[in-house]
Structure 1
């Protein structure tokens, strides 16, 4: 279905480039594993099963991990009402709506397609934002769905997950393996070291590529969402409020949420957190606010 979100050709190009590079690394990774382990059937079966599970059950996995539940219009009338209006404006199918019982103010989108998509918000977000600010956040999340960001990021992150699993499996094999003579044991140890080295390299490369794509998709969703509502100031206000509130939450309380930063509207970093731009899933708050200010100026000239 064609939505009223403006097509973002730069986002599409970056997604295609990232997927191409990840695919190239993926092919090399599998080729090395086949050469080292010499069991093509086993590798293909494991890879296919993991990819299918991550793609097909991505919405359920994300909702379960974030302790979110699907809510009906009767349970959350205001939230459903805002999403109904935004979906009508964007001319796109309405996603399922979920609420996560978390004090941290945030939101995320998940699902393998527009018709299987879910938008989830935390109770902390609903308590802190007014209706206009919630408009800005939800239009941002709908942009992720319209541009298929969720599917691309889920597929792209699979390679890093696979590499991590292989490295962990080989480590456990080294620790708990036994019953081999010295010569065979030495050869197996070298094989395991080689697999772990390849897996670690693949994980590092895919990690950096996915982080770069994640930062750009956040900027693209900010822009598309603000254009849909026509009021960038709503999103800027929500970003400022959420980031300020998250910074006051003790870091120890955020650690369980930080692995899900790539899904979140705003990263779960406490006060004093500092990560280089290269490793971050999100652009800096300053960069996001500057883009929204420029967009507000552009929209003001057009009106």
Structure 2
């Protein structure tokens, strides 16, 4: 098996970005038509895009409590990541550790030269070395595929619409105490719901495909699809025994995790960021059969 460029992933990233741009412009247009200064909206959007591009990785690290660790602290982890980076033909990412009982791993960053691969301390205790290497290879595939930035930027319009939805009543009471513009506010709320649904579905569709692509990348980099099958099964099985409040602490990073940490208390379960485990295992078993020449 050798690494081949996934044109399906590339085309999906381009299509998702294009469709989200259209949705974004329509959203801004509706807000401008309802009296919001269009120039101000564009300025805010550009500022947020700038912050996301340059600081999105730091936001993910901060929200998960991840810290960057040196080679002297986790030498074997660094050596694994260094080997996989060389195999993938990308610069060695920074290495992060997340203190959490939720066994998981993720990659973030705007480019292969500004990437971080992180694991929770619990996953290092839960997996065998070959299983951990397969998980790290999955994350390295995200770095190689450059899909981390696309996901981060694509989530911007969804988050903006969600914030308007969540704060709609407060905004209405603060700016329209006489209720003269309540009709416009209701329209904004309805448009925000539609935009949030469309953008969320688009990003979730991309997220599911990119997980399949990263699983395949792991199989190529390690030559051992069975190790990733074993790791995914172990991680998924342990999720059932993690307290809901612990999963909720890191739930905001589910789109980046190798296995989502669902607490059962949010809407995230209605819009799963990952394909079902059974389908991922089936795809990896097919790769394993190809590798053995069946």
Q: TM-score range by the shorter chain?
A: over 0.9
**Aligned-pair Cα RMSD in Å:** 2.1
Q: Do the aligned residues in 1 keep the contact of 2:244 with 2:263 (CA within 8 Å)?
A: yes
Instruction: Tell me the number of residue pairs that the alignment of Structure 1 and Structure 2 aligns.
Output: 293
Match of 1:239 among 213, 222, 232: 232
**1-structure distance, mates of 2:165, 2:64:** 26
**2-structure distance, mates of 1:166, 1:78:** 46
1:208 aligns with 2:201: yes
The aligned residue for residue 278 of structure 2 is 286
Match of 1:258 among 251, 255, 258: 251
Q: Do the aligned residues in 2 keep the contact of 1:248 with 1:270 (CA within 8 Å)?
A: no
Tell me: CA distance 1:61–1:153, structure 2 relative to 1, closer, same or farther (3 Å): same
Pairwise CA distance, 1:6: 2.2
Tell me: CA distance 1:39–1:142, structure 2 relative to 1, closer, same or farther (3 Å): same
Q: Do the aligned residues in 2 keep the contact of 1:266 with 1:282 (CA within 8 Å)?
A: yes
Pairwise CA distance, 1:43: 0.7
Match of 1:29 among 9, 27, 30: 27
The aligned residue for residue 127 of structure 1 is 125
3-state SS, counterpart of residue 255 of structure 2: coil
The aligned residue for residue 182 of structure 2 is 189
Matches within 5 A, 1:1-303: 5-177=3-175, 185-269=178-262, 279-301=271-293
Q: Do the aligned residues in 2 keep the contact of 1:107 with 1:120 (CA within 8 Å)?
A: yes
Tell me: CA distance 1:252–1:9, structure 2 relative to 1, closer, same or farther (3 Å): same
Q: Do the aligned residues in 1 keep the contact of 2:247 with 2:263 (CA within 8 Å)?
A: yes
**1-structure distance, mates of 2:247, 2:36:** 43
**2-structure distance, mates of 1:158, 1:274:** 17
Moved over 6 A (4+): 273-276
3-state SS, counterpart of residue 263 of structure 1: coil
Pairwise CA distance, 1:169: 4.7
3-state SS, counterpart of residue 186 of structure 1: coil
Q: Do the aligned residues in 1 keep the contact of 2:100 with 2:246 (CA within 8 Å)?
A: no
**2-structure distance, mates of 1:229, 1:94:** 16
Normalising by structure 1, what TM-score? 0.91
3-state SS, counterpart of residue 105 of structure 1: coil
Pairwise CA distance, 1:279: 1.9
Pairwise CA distance, 1:40: 1.2
**2-structure distance, mates of 1:155, 1:93:** 22
Tell me: CA distance 1:240–1:270, structure 2 relative to 1, closer, same or farther (3 Å): farther
Q: Deviations over 1:176-209 (max 9, x none)?
A: 346x6xxxx3332222222121111101110111
Which runs of 5 or more residues in structure 1 are unaligned? none
